Amino acid sequence: MLVVDNGSDDGSGDLAARAGARVVDEPRRGYGSAYLAGFAQSRGDYIVMIDADLTYDFEEIPRFIRELDDGGELVMGNRMDAVQPGAMSPVSRIGNPLLSGFLNLLFRTPVQDSHCGMRALRRDVLPVLGLQATGMELASEMVIRASRSGLEIRELPIALHPREGESKLSPFRDGWRHLRLMLVYHPNFLFVFPGLLVGAIGVALMASVLAHLSLFGRGFYIHTLIGGSMLVVVGTQLIGFGLCGRSYAVYQLGDSDPSFERWGGRVRLEHGLVLGLALVAAGVAVGGVVVAHWIARGLGSLQEEQITILAATLVIVGVQVFFTSFLLSLLGLRRRARDT
């Protein structure tokens, strides 16, 4: 048995060593830090993860081993149908299913209790998982990366017992860490989808003004157009953030996303550069017409405010597309080096 002493001050590490366990000292605090240190020191073909606070029954371990023998690569415990009185706070009873459901929605995972601390895995899948989280969110990261890597994930019903000793868990803080990690691992949900929605609303507002269909009357044409322009610019930036985040995860961190890799193989730097330059050129052309009319009127007051805002929006979006294309190309350098 391998025990990780994660800065404990109650002498539990010494007790474990006297009982015959191999104790690893990990001074960096955090649930994830402790497990990462344990994984690095692990031996044998299988790893069984279990908390040392007696919340899980060690006699359940053979069931997990049998699932690994049967072909499972990550075996998870599911506590939610057998939580003993006092074993889980009311906040966690509500929060765990919500977070697990959100994780399943985003990543299409088959796990009902994604935060269970009792699980088993084959040691040879650790390089595939490439775990990095140092806090409680390691539990979610393991499920996400296992699912994306196509590992065989299985789940076993187990009981959760009241813990021995004082709990260091913080439901709201740890829940936020899990949620934050899920969003970071899903740039489409965090950036691309909101960007598409915001950008579409902005385009609709600008189109309504330019077609003289503003719902707010002529007095609000310019205000509506400015608001629409801002939404288009923000939406474009969010989409760019999402594509860069997905590209970084796939090409730099080795995340698995076949659909994104297929898309990345078809769309090249030059496509983005041409689109960006075309938008800038269109904006400059429209702006040139406005300037020409302004000069023809003797440099008086500028009357084509609507067209001016459209021209500025085209130029800004074009610049965003142009330089985002270069950034995506830089993030994909490792892929091109691997393909050659």
Q: pLDDT tens for residues 232-271?
A: 999 999 999 988 887 777 665 556 565 666 665 567 778 8
Residues 152-176 have a mean pLDDT of: 83
Please state the domain count of the chain: 2
pTM score, whole prediction: 0.75
* Pair (177, 192) in one structural domain: no
- What pLDDT, in 10s, does the model give residues 261-305? 666 556 777 888 999 999 999 999 988 888 887 777 766 555 567
Residue 176's CATH number = 3.90.550.10
Handedness of CA 86, 92, 98, 100 (dihedral sign): negative
Which are the contacts of 96, defined by CB distance < 8 A and separation ≥ 6? 80, 88, 113, 115
Residue 253 neighbours by CB under 8 Å, 6+ apart: 130
Residue 95 shares a structural domain with residue 196? no
Alpha helices in 70-213 (DSSP H): 90-107, 126-129, 138-148, 171-184, 187, 193-210
> Quick one: pLDDT at residue 160?
92
Mean of pLDDT values over 5-30: 81
Lowest mean pLDDT among 76-90, 105-119, 206-220, 303-317: 206-220
Three-state DSSP state, 16: helix
Looking at the fold, whether 206 and 239 belong to one and the same domain comes out as yes
Q: What integer pLDDT is reported at residue 216 of this predicted model?
A: 46
State mean pLDDT over 10-17: 79
Same domain, 63 and 156: yes
CA distance 133 to 181: 9
Does residue 328 fall inside a structural domain? yes
Tell me the pairing of strands 22-25 and 2-5.
parallel
298 within a domain of the structure (yes/no) = yes
Residue 27 lies in a domain: no
Assess if residue 9 is contained within a domain. no
Shared domain check, 326 and 287: yes
Is residue 226 located within the same domain as residue 284? yes
User: Which of the listed residues 154, 184, 214 is the one where a domain comes to its end?
Assistant: 184
Q: In which domain, by residue range, is 124 found?
A: 44-184
Average of per-residue pLDDT across 210-226 = 67
Do 78 and 148 reside in the same domain of the chain? yes
In sequence order, what DSSP letters do the residues of 99-136 get, joined into one string?
A: HHHHHHHHH----S-TT-S-EEEEGGGHHHH-----ST
Same domain? 262 vs 135:
no
Q: Categorize the per-residue pLDDT at 336 as very low, low, confident or very high, splitting at 50, 70 and 90.
A: very low
Using the predicted structure, report yes or no on whether residue 90 has a pLDDT greater than 50. Answer: yes
pLDDT above 70 for 50: yes
In what helix (H) or strand (E) does residue 25 lie, and over which residues does it extend?
strand 22-25
Is residue 238 domain-shared with residue 289, that is, in the same domain?
A: yes
Give the pLDDT mean for 153-173.
Answer: 83
Place of tokens 């020191």: 41
Residues 89 and 150 in one domain: yes
The pLDDT value recorded for residue 183 is 87
% of the chain at pLDDT higher than 70: 86
pLDDT at 337: 46
Last residue of a domain, one of 184, 216, 241: 184
Q: Is residue 26 part of a domain?
A: no
108, pLDDT greater than 90: no
Q: What is the pLDDT of residue 255?
A: 60
Above 50 in pLDDT, residue 70? yes
Residue 331 contacts residue 252 (beta carbons within 8 Å): yes
Hunting for tokens 């902005």 — which residue is that?
202
73 and 86 belong to one structural domain: yes
Q: In this structure, is residue 159 part of a structural domain?
A: yes
- 163 and 193 housed in the same domain: no
Asked if 82 and 159 touch (Cβ cutoff 8 Å), the reply is yes
pLDDT for position 6 = 79
Q: Return mean pLDDT, the chain.
A: 84
Which of 152, 184, 216 is where one domain is finished? 184
